[in-house]
Amino acid sequence: MGDLFNDSMLQVLILIIGILTIFVMILIFLLSRKNKTLAYQILSNNPILLKGKEIEGKLQILFNSQPVEDVYLSVVRLINSGNTQIETKDYDNVYIDFGAGANILTAEVTETKPDKIKVNTQISNNKLLLEPLLLNRRNSITLKFIVSHFTRKKITVEGRISGGEIKELKEGYANVILTLSGFALFIVGNSLLKDINYYLLGIGLGFIGALLMMVFSLKSFIDIRKERLSR
């Protein structure tokens, strides 16, 4: 019985070392890899005039003395959320898209971080083309738009970053769900430790659950830090 218990403890120790090794390897990989990402946040996207039966046909918005419809005030922030700089040569037709039929009436840069970033843009109906510029890590640009005939009501940033990606920064629940799944496995594993027949299975499930909680809690921390640094 004693030899069996010692063998079981040895197997558990090997399992723990293996899991910790995997965790350290994943952590080193996440921290060391180059990540070139142009992220965007939709800070605001609201109609200037709310439609309703009470005001329908009674109020009208004019732009340069011409009536316009479906007018929205939108604020978009672009940020280098990766860990390496985005150079001018990395841009391949990057633009902010308001969808077919929309018309950008005005577009202005309201804020840059740092202050001295020079931003050049070109408006083409429903798109704002961003001319290539150097963005170091955590550099950002905030733009404000007034857009008419904005029926799609969705803003995207299109194009390509060479060796990187363009993605939207938004709240996600995948990390929370996976962390909770890890916690559930950890609880199930602990409950199995009470039965000697399922002792090793309990140890395995418990440490897999703990690994999931550590990895995705760390990822959540990194994502939250990125979001706070982008503000």
Domain map of the chain by residue range?
2-33+172-229, 37-168
What is the value of pTM for the model shown?
A: 0.65
The C-alpha atoms of residue 143 and residue 122 are separated, in whole angstroms, by 13
User: Model confidence over 56-88: pLDDT tens digits?
Assistant: 666 778 888 888 888 999 999 999 988 889 999
Map tokens 């004019």 to a residue: 62
Question: At which residue do the structure tokens 């999931």 appear?
Answer: 212
Contact 77, 226 (CB under 8 A): no
Higher pLDDT, residue 85 or 207? 85
Which has the minimum average pLDDT: 14-18, 46-50, 65-69, 187-191? 14-18
> For domain 37-168, is the CATH number 1.20.950?
no
What integer pLDDT is reported at residue 1 of this predicted model? 46
Looking at the chain, which runs of residues are DSSP E strands?
37-47, 61-63, 66-68, 72-80, 91-97, 103-113, 121-124, 127-130, 140-148, 156-161, 165-168
Lowest mean pLDDT among 31-45, 82-96, 111-125, 187-201: 187-201
Statement: residue 103 has pLDDT above 90: yes
Number of C-beta neighbours around residue 141 at 10 A: 21
Interatomic CA distance for residues 130 and 112, integer angstroms = 14
Poorest-pLDDT segment among 1-10, 168-177, 206-215? 1-10
Length of the chain: 231
Give 138-197 pLDDT, tens digit per residue: 899 999 999 999 888 899 999 999 989 999 886 555 556 666 676 777 677 767 667 666
- Amino acid, single-letter form, for residue 89: K
**How high is the pLDDT of residue 4?**
45
For the chain, give the mean pLDDT: 78
Q: Identify the pLDDT of residue 70.
A: 87
